[in-house]
Amino acid sequence: MSLAGPSQLTSVQFAMETGETDMDTTYDAVVIGGGTAGTIAAIQAGREGARTLLVEKNGMLGGTMTVGGVNAPAHFFAWGRQVIAGIGWELMRRTFKETGEPEPTADFTRENETPRHLSMDKSIFAALCDEAVIEAGADLLFHAMPAAVVFENEGWNLTICTKTGLREIRAKAVIDATGDANAVALAGFELERGETVQPATLHMSCSGYDVDTLDFAALKVASAEAVAAGELKTTDISWRDDGPESFLRLHGGNANHVSAPRADTSEGKSAVEVEGRRAMLRMHRFFRKQPGLGGFRVDWISPETGIRETVRIKGKKTVTAAEYEAGTLYDDAVCYAFYPVDEHRNDGLDTNYRLLRRHLLPTIPRGAMLPAHSRYLIVAGRCLSSDREANSALRVECPCMAMGQAAGAMAALSARKGLDPEDLPISDVREVLRRHGAVLPGDISLEAEPADSRKD
């Protein structure tokens, strides 16, 4: 296994210092997708000594947290304890320090079923992600995507599409952190696709009005008339068919829905992006005609519409909602998760939302991150093997960070030991994660309330 020593430059460092481009063709680990999970995976693999390449289709790391504009990753803490830590939390702490924000503690979650989301400066966070990946010794390739993924001779042959053509890469282990299982699909493994998927959201920020002067009852009537006339869709301004009050009080934010039936494909994602901006334009035209909103403006929209759900892998294990809501402690659990079931609906009539029982902590098993019948292939992020309701909780950013760190640890160990991720002693995986600051399932013991105490 090749290691990046102190005298070696990553491809980014080499290009910055020499003005020339260079990239290895053989790696221990290749991470496809530099979003919430993939960035953490690449940092972990690099820090553990694996020669690592991170491939990202956009020009910025962080995924939904940065390019998607949802800079509130939800929940590192639960029931007064830290349940997700490690590299993701380290990057959050670095961001708080850079921006002069106080570092939050777990105290505010002690008896809180719905602790607040911790927000951070997404621009600073993105720059710190760059820094951490490069410091870990990983190569970083933006504006690139996989074109072919083939397993051969106990390793992976990857064809990467770059701005200047195709490049052939060899990797011992591959981490699919695309969120859409694109590498898994290219490799020919089975995916689960629901008849319906959750809608997307185009995150934005709006201004030019005084919320305290608005007549929300009149605006609700006007919006209903606009919907009836075909000038507006309910989901352009609300999840709940209750008028524009929430949207306007949030100044946009994460408050609209866009249908996203096939967003794992380029064609489907193109349709989502166009419809998201159409929805924004309909909303803009409607508001500008309303009393008190003549100066309404859209200050910015995220460059990418935030996707909640596309496909899920068929894994060696599958997390069900019943297991998730029971707080099942799997024998191969690699991290905790903490978020309510939160399935957004396409009808604009609210969400399917269920809180977890008090003092309950779900876990994520290694097997749910491994596509069935695969070797040296790991998935990190929202497309892990799970049913739809469990996925609606597991898709959020904190558990994706934790999965990413587990994936990076497994990839590094697999390359070092010559063992498939499924064959690694789980104690070895946990030892690496604990050494890099992660909280491991079993480290926290909290007594759950009886099942009939759950609040739906």
Q: At how many degrees (to 10) do helices 122-135 and 36-47 cross?
A: 30
Tell me, what's the pLDDT at 450? 39
Q: What percent of the chain has pLDDT over 90?
A: 86
Q: How confident is the model at residue 19 (pLDDT cuts 50, 70, 90)?
A: low
Q: CA 289 → CA 204, 209, 211, 226, 303, distances in Å?
A: 20, 13, 16, 11, 26
Tell me, what's the pLDDT at 13? 61
Q: What is the value of pTM for the model shown?
A: 0.93
The answer to whether the beta carbons of residues 104 and 53 sit under 8 Å apart is: no
Tell me, what's the pLDDT at 215? 97
By DSSP bridging, strand 297-301 and strand 312-313 are unpaired
Which of 277, 360, 364 is CA-nearest to residue 318?
364
Mean pLDDT, rounded, for 80-108: 95
Angle at 226 between CA 225 and CA 228, to 5 degrees: 65
The answer to whether the beta carbons of residues 28 and 411 sit under 8 Å apart is: yes
Chain position carrying tokens 């949030």: 250
Name the fold adopted by 11-193+311-453. Answer: FAD/NAD(P)-binding domain (3.50.50)
Strand partners, 145: 161
Q: CA 33 → CA 53, 151, 223, 373, 394, distances in Å?
A: 10, 19, 39, 22, 18
Strand partners, 207: 297
Q: At how many degrees (to 10) do helices 397-417 and 426-435 cross?
A: 120
Q: CA 54 → CA 226, 325, 326, 400, 456, distances in Å?
A: 46, 34, 35, 16, 40
Mean pLDDT, rounded, for 431-452: 80
The answer, yes or no, to whether residue 416 has pLDDT greater than 80, is: yes
The answer, yes or no, to whether residue 37 has pLDDT greater than 80, is: yes
Among 39-43, 69-73, 303-307, which is the least confidently predicted range?
A: 69-73
The 10s digit of each residue's pLDDT in 101-130 is 999 999 888 888 888 888 999 999 999 999
Alpha carbons 398 and 85: distance in angstroms, whole number: 9
Alpha carbons 385 and 381: distance in angstroms, whole number: 10
Assigned token pair, 203: 């995150």
DSSP H or E stretch at residue 297:
strand 297-301
Assigned token pair, 226: 């606009």
Q: Where in the chain is the domain with CATH 3.50.50.60?
A: 11-193+311-453
The answer to whether the beta carbons of residues 258 and 281 sit under 8 Å apart is: no
3-class secondary-structure state, position 348: coil
Tell me, what's the pLDDT at 250? 93
